A and B are shown apart, each in its own frame.
Chain A
Amino acid sequence: MEFRRPKTLKNVLTHYCPGCGHGIVHRLVAEVIDELGIRERTIGTAPVGCAVLLYDYMNCDIIECAHGRPPAVATGIKRVLPDRIVFTYQGDGDLAAIGAAETIHAANRGENITVIFVNNAIYGMTGGQMAPTTLMGQWSTTTPAGRGKLGEGGPIKVCEMLSALDGPCYLERVAVSTPKDVLRAKKAIRKAFENQIAGKGFSLVEVLSMCPTDWKLSPKEAVDFVNEKMKTVFPLGVFKDR
């Protein structure tokens, strides 16, 4: 068997912290683009957040968007260039906070795009503030007593929320905290791209990922946090598939 760097992933050192899940998700997206043979006609839209430098790492066209607007930018690209494969790569602050409206309306319109949503339950780039997906009781710099004590509300479950709409064609939540989960995540990402190629409509894959630095945990403890805490709040599975 062979396991080598996909051609869509540039040979550079990423800026991500040790144990961060972004590198794994980047590789999975790159592997799927390679396998489907769509690198020459793929356009990615990058978020604001830790993945803001996506254009330095992916060997395909990438557009950097205003904070939270990748689904709106992707909508424009896909409508003007319908033969291109358009994906967005977003974190929880980008997709579920400032970009919640764009996400919901792009999903509701059933835009034929692929959304990769990396959920690490915290704002990584800005230093560990509470995100919409932060768990109840979880420490962050803006919830020092744990989320929920001062009326912050509960975590937003994006897949469950979007599954109530008629627009999306495929919604799945996966993780990258074990090798088994990584393989499942790749399968889901591949399906999300295949749906777009088949013209089926809006596909979103939510990936539960580790943020050891801002969770103030070691990489091993961060993996345990995803497996033991995050997966109970954000159950893995397919929420919509038609």
Chain B
Amino acid sequence: MPQIRFYAEHCKGCGLCVLVCPCQNIRISEDLNEHGHPFAVLVDPARCTYCAMCGRMCPDMAIEIFDGKNGSKENSGGAAK
């Protein structure tokens, strides 16, 4: 089963992912991350089709999709340290 991850600490809240999501399944949070930006969150994981349009439009690599094979679930390093 694929998994989608949103890295709040990488997100600048531009909302380009919200614009392009064909399922209207992404929203911008009311909270702020450590850099003071609002961030994108998935509304309902069950409705996600893993099309990756959000990730392709994301200028900040704040969205990653793992296919769940080969134990690739661990974070490849999308999060800023």
Q: Which residues of A contact B (CB under 8 A)?
A: 1-5, 9, 11-14, 16-24, 27, 178-179, 182-183, 212, 219-220, 223
Are A9 and B59 within 8 A (Cβ)? no
- Interface code B2-28, partner A: CB below 8 Å = 1, 0 otherwise? 100000011011111001100000000
Are A5 and B66 within 8 A (Cβ)? no
| Most A C-beta atoms less than 10 A away, residue of B9, B20, B56, B78 | B56
Are A220 and B15 within 8 A (Cβ)? yes
A178 to chain B: closest residue by CB: B20
Are A223 and B16 within 8 A (Cβ)? yes
Bound CA span A11–B15, Å: 21
The answer to whether the Cβ of B32 comes within 8 Å of any Cβ in the partner chain is no
Are A2 and B59 within 8 A (Cβ)? no
Bound CA span A22–B79, Å: 19
User: When A and B form their complex, what is the total count of cross-chain residue pairs whose Cβ atoms lie within 8 Å?
Assistant: 83
Q: Which residue from A9, A20, A22, A182 sits with its C-beta under 8 Å from B61?
A: A9
Are B76 and A4 within 8 A (Cβ)? yes
A3-B55, A4-B65, A182-B56 known; A18 and B50 CB under 8 Å?
Answer: no
Q: Which residue from A2, A16, A23 sits with its C-beta under 8 Å from B66?
A: A2
A19-B16, A223-B16 known; A3 and B52 CB under 8 Å?
Answer: yes
B4 to chain A: closest residue by CB: A3
* Closest beta carbon of chain B to A241's beta carbon, Å: 24
Bound CA span A219–B9, Å: 19
